[in-house]
Amino acid sequence: MIFGRRRRLLAKLDAMLDEALAGTFDAQNYDESLLSKIEAKTARFLDASRLRREQVEADRERVRALISDISHQTKTPLANVALYTQLLTEQDLTDGQKAIAGQIAAGAEKLNFLIQSLVKASRLESGILKIEPKPGNVYYLIESAANQCAALATAKNIALTAASGEPVTALFDPRWCAEALFNLIDNAVKYTPESGKVDVTVTEYEMFVRVDVTDTGRGIREEDLPKVFTRFWRAAESADSPGAGLGLYLAREIIAACGGYIKAGSEYGRGAVFSAFLSKV
Amino acid sequence: MSVLQTSGLKKYYGTEPVVKAIDGVDFTVESGEFVSIVGSSGSGKSTLLHLLGGLDRPTEGAAWINGKAIFSMKDDELTIFRRRNIGFVFQSYNLVPVLNVEENILLPIALDGDKPDAAFIERVVETLGLSEKRTSMPNQLSGGQQQRVAIARALASKPAIILADEPTGNLDSKSGMDVIGLLKVSGEKFGQTIVLITHNPEIAQMADRTVRIEDGKIVGGAAR
């Protein structure tokens, strides 16, 4: 008798917790029983958790506003710096003055690129930007990314070959993943010496489509491999090359948001392979 | 918040000479992290995983999972604690041959006498590409597919941590990449904390953080 009642009570509590976990809990009994008291307290506890969640949402909203302010408010002054530097260089300047104006122009351009990348990164991180993976042809994605790198590759006399063939379907957000892939290919072209090679190839797995970007650059040291996707990380040797250390980080975040992943492999001195795995389901 | 922490963990075998399989390991895994432990065979990495999972008791030292000191528990307490808090993925898939895919995935939950969270299980099954294999028997599946079932089973009970010991050891490199990829992707999707043990640096590198173990000691690691 007693045991039966106790078991029923415990079963009731277990069911209450299941409801709480599912977010459907509602206090049902209002009487002097202990169970009713527990129900009321549970409801209070869940309310407090909900308030905390709403607080987090409000904080995120503030971050969203701040990011949009930063990107918006810096646009005009930065454009002005670039414009007036341009006007300045059109004046009659000494060589020394020209060099200084050139530095200002390069600095402004770098700052602009950095702010753009940072804004993109924080929009991605805070979930402000919705990445929507849809089934699409991977070769089409590769083509649009590789085309954007063609000019730089030609300028450096680098043979950039992009695989093509029968359509291979994977899930990706066309605009964002083209940017991610562009970052991988652009990186490969940037760090490959003149007359080198960059190959983009496709391998189909059961669950993923693998896109490899292989270059003949100097490669990455083994101890640096786990760090290449970190924000602002740059190899010591690359300090002089343009870039902010955000491209690979962004690529990783974008591919991950599409349900895929990214990895790097390299033998130092013999080039690197960056692989994007796009999900098929 | 740390999900797993060890302090001065040691496992010695024999008396003369003493084999120091694990020799003073201090190690922390944060919530949601994907950490790989890499080492050659005989480095002590599997012993370490067995200790972390409470499958074996240390000679000295302590380990906490979700703040609970696991080696202070009695054996039968530890067994239940393990079932509710730790998901395992081994090199051999350890599926029950007479149960179909779905029954295998739900087994740990059934053992606990609990109701499965149907919507969650659905997402897990879909993420691991098993939607069309629900009623298949393990012997009808490829090795990669069986390992994916084992991962789904580990995820199903929403454990505090998943411990994976050379999960690609029996697979060809293509299925291996598939399996590790899914482990990584599903870990991120479901906010699951994962510790992966491997001798393969290419696989280890896919984790957020790599810890290297040699002669029972942690000799290096790189932060994310």
pLDDT in tens, A223-233: 777 778 877 77
Q: Give the residue-averaged pLDDT of A142-161.
A: 91
Interface of A with B in 225-264 (CB under 8 A): 225-227, 230, 256, 259-261, 263-264
Domain count, chain A: 2
- The pLDDT assigned to A242 comes to 62
Task: Among A206, A210, A281, select the one facing B144 at the smallest CB separation.
Answer: A206
Given A107, A129, A151, which residue is the final one in a domain? A129
Q: Is A168 on the interface with B (CB under 8 A)?
A: no
> Exposed, middle or buried: residue A223 (CB in 10 Å: 0-12, 13-18, 19+)?
exposed
Q: Is the pLDDT of residue A36 over 50?
A: yes
The predicted-structure confidence for A248-272, as pLDDT tens digits, reads as follows 888 988 998 898 999 888 888 888 9
B221 to chain A: nearest residue by CA? A223
* Contact state of B185 with A280 under an 8 Å Cβ cutoff: no
Residues A154 and A132: their CA atoms lie apart, in Å, by 33
Q: Is the pLDDT of residue A244 over 70?
A: no
Q: Is the pLDDT of residue A149 over 50?
A: yes
Q: Is the pLDDT of residue A241 over 80?
A: no
Which residues are B4's β-sheet partners? B29, B65
Q: Encoding tokens for residue A126?
A: 């805070």
Give A-chain residues touching B143 at CB under 8 angstroms: none
Given A129, A163, A182, which residue is the final one in a domain? A129
* Contact state of A261 with B210 under an 8 Å Cβ cutoff: no
Q: Which residue has the higher pLDDT, A44 or A118?
A: A44
CA atoms within 13 A on the CB side of B220: 5
Selected from 2.40.128.110, 3.20.20.20, 3.40.50.300, 3.40.640.10, the CATH number assigned to the domain covering B2-222 reads 3.40.50.300
A223 to chain B: nearest residue by CA? B222
Residues A254 and A124: their CA atoms lie apart, in Å, by 8
Given A94, A129, A164, which residue is the final one in a domain? A129
The predicted-structure confidence for A192-212, as pLDDT tens digits, reads as follows 999 899 999 999 998 899 999
Which residues in chain B land under pLDDT 70? 221-224
Assign A47 to helix, strand or coil.
Answer: helix
Where is mean pLDDT largest: A52-61, A159-168, A221-230, B57-66? B57-66
Mean pLDDT of chain A: 86
- The pLDDT assigned to A210 comes to 94
Confidence band, pLDDT 50/70/90 cuts, at residue A67 = confident
pTM for this structure?
0.76
Q: Is the pLDDT of residue A73 over 60?
A: yes
CATH of the domain at A16: 1.10.287
Nearest chain B Cα distance for residue A110, angstroms: 26
Give A-chain residues touching B222 at CB under 8 angstroms: 223, 226-227
- The pLDDT assigned to B222 comes to 47
Region of poorest pLDDT, from A18-27, A91-100, B150-159 = A18-27
Nearest chain B Cα distance for residue A189, angstroms: 23
CATH of the domain at A162: 3.30.565.10
Q: Encoding tokens for residue B118?
A: 């149907």
In this prediction, what percent of chain A has a pLDDT beyond 90? 30
Confidence band, pLDDT 50/70/90 cuts, at residue A243 = low
First-to-last alpha carbon distance for chain A, in angstroms, is: 53
- Where do the structural domains in chain B lie, given as residue ranges? 2-222
Q: Give the residue-averaged pLDDT of A99-120.
A: 85
Domain that holds residue A76: 1-129
B58-97 in b/e form (b: 16+ CB < 10 A) is: beebebbbbeeebbeeeeeebeebbebbbbbbbbebebee
The residue among B150, B174, B221, B217 whose CA lies nearest residue B10 is B217
Please check whether residue B135 is in contact with residue B101, taking contact to mean a CB–CB distance below 8 angstroms: yes
- For residues A62 and A153, membership in a common domain is answered with no
Q: Is the ipTM of this complex over 0.90?
A: no
Q: Encoding tokens for residue B145?
A: 């597919």
B134-162 in b/e form (b: 16+ CB < 10 A) is: eebbbeebebbbbbbbbbbbbbbbbbbbb
- The pLDDT assigned to B224 comes to 38
